[in-house]
Amino acid sequence: MNGTEILNIFGFDVEEEPKSIYPYSPVYRVKYGDQDVVVKRTQSRAESVMSYINMLKDKGINVVTPVKLQVENPQKIEDTNFVVYPFIEGQKYSGKDNEIYEAGKMLGQIHSYSPVSNSYNLLDYDVYDFNEEEVEESMEAIIQHATKAGIEIDVALRTNLLESVANQQILYRANLPHIATPHDFKANNLILTPEPFLIDPDNAAWIPKLFDLALALLLFHNEHEEAPDRVFTIDEWDLFLAGYKEYIDITDEEKRYWEMAKQHVFLDEVMWLMAEYEEDWQKSSQQNLFKSLIQIVLASADYKLV
Q: Which has the closest alpha carbon to 30: 52, 49, 6?
A: 6
Same domain, 226 and 255: yes
Same domain, 131 and 57: no
CB 30 within 8 A of CB 14: yes
Enumerate the β-bridge partners of residue 35: 32
CB 210 within 8 A of CB 186: no
Q: What is the mean pLDDT of residues 131-138?
A: 96
Where among 87, 115, 144 does a domain terminate?
87
Task: Please tell me what DSSP assigns to residue 63.
Answer: B
- Residue 4 zone, left/alpha/beta (φ > 0; ψ -120 to 50; rest): alpha
Q: Is 179 helix (H, G, I), strand (E, B) or coil?
A: strand
Same domain, 98 and 198: yes
Same domain, 153 and 190: yes
Maximum separation of any 2 CA atoms in the chain, in Å: 58
Count of domains forming the chain: 2
Domain that holds residue 59: 3-87
Q: Is 19 helix (H, G, I), strand (E, B) or coil?
A: coil
Distance of CA 235 to the CA centre of its chain: 22
Beta-strand relationship, 123-124 and 205-208: parallel
Same domain, 23 and 133: no
2-61: pLDDT as tens digits: 889 999 999 998 888 889 988 778 899 999 989 999 999 999 999 999 999 999 999 999
232-287: pLDDT as tens digits: 999 999 999 999 999 999 999 999 999 999 999 999 999 999 999 899 999 999 99
CB 112 within 8 A of CB 248: yes
Question: At 135, is the pLDDT very low, low, confident or very high (cuts 50, 70, 90)?
Answer: very high
| Secondary structure in 3-state letters for 86-109 | ECCCCEECCCCHHHHHHHHHHHHH
Sign of the dihedral through C-alpha 210, 213, 215, 218: negative
The answer, as to whether pTM is greater than 0.75, is yes
Where among 56, 87, 118 does a domain terminate?
87
Same domain, 70 and 105: no
81-94: pLDDT as tens digits: 999 999 999 999 99
Q: What is the CATH number of the domain that holds 19?
A: 3.30.200.20
Q: Which has the closest alpha carbon to 287: 85, 193, 148, 80?
A: 148
Q: What is the CATH number of the domain that holds 139?
A: 3.90.1200.10
Same domain, 64 and 47: yes
175-224: pLDDT as tens digits: 899 999 999 999 999 999 999 999 999 999 999 999 999 999 999 999 88
Task: Please tell me what DSSP assigns to residue 183.
Answer: S
